[in-house]
Amino acid sequence: MLSKKMLDALNNQVKNEMFSWHLYHSMALHFEAMNFKGFAAWMKAQAAEEMGHANKFVDFIIERGGRVVLPALEKPQTEWSSHLAAFQDAVKHEQFITAEINKLVDLAHAENDHPAHYFLGWFVSEQVEEEASVGEVAQKLEMIGASSHAIFMFDAVLGKRGQ
Ligand code: FEO
């Protein structure tokens, strides 16, 4: 049985993961509007992963006998000044999510909730991967700079994600 504190915190993480989906979907639509199909496909795949994360939390709450309360989501940003600006925001967002996961781990420890602690271990590793993958794209965009030729080439590379 989940404590009230743990239940509320897990429901809050459902909201965080759903907002991640919302934000990355918005970035995908931004790239789509500019006809950068590869960037859009990469972000759509990222958004789909986030809904997967939200559902993992949903399933865990249900398995532990808790009630999932779906949240209202904030309107995400809809435009970015550059490809790099979007990915820099994605990096910042993943750092925020990592901090949220770490807080959940601390709470599971404080509440002596071993199943939650074990469950959250997957997310601790996942966040290392999440920060690395958006960070890698941001770093490459920094190297590319303003070269539109390189951006078009990179668009083709990113479009291969999930193929
Ligand atoms: Fe679900 Fe990208 O963290």
155 lines ligand 1 (CB under 6 A): no
100 touches 13 (CB < 8 A): yes
- pTM for the full predicted model: 0.96
What domains can you pick out in the chain, each with its CATH number?
4-71+78-158 (1.20.1260.10)
CA of 42 to the centre of ligand 1 (A): 14
Index of the ligand 1 atom closest to the CA of residue 127: 3
pLDDT in tens, the chain (163 residues): 899 999 999 999 999 999 999 999 999 999 999 999 999 999 999 999 999 999 999 999 999 999 999 999 999 999 999 999 999 999 999 999 999 999 999 999 999 999 999 999 999 999 999 999 999 999 999 999 988 999 999 999 999 986 6
Cα of 3 to ligand 1 centre, how many Å? Answer: 24
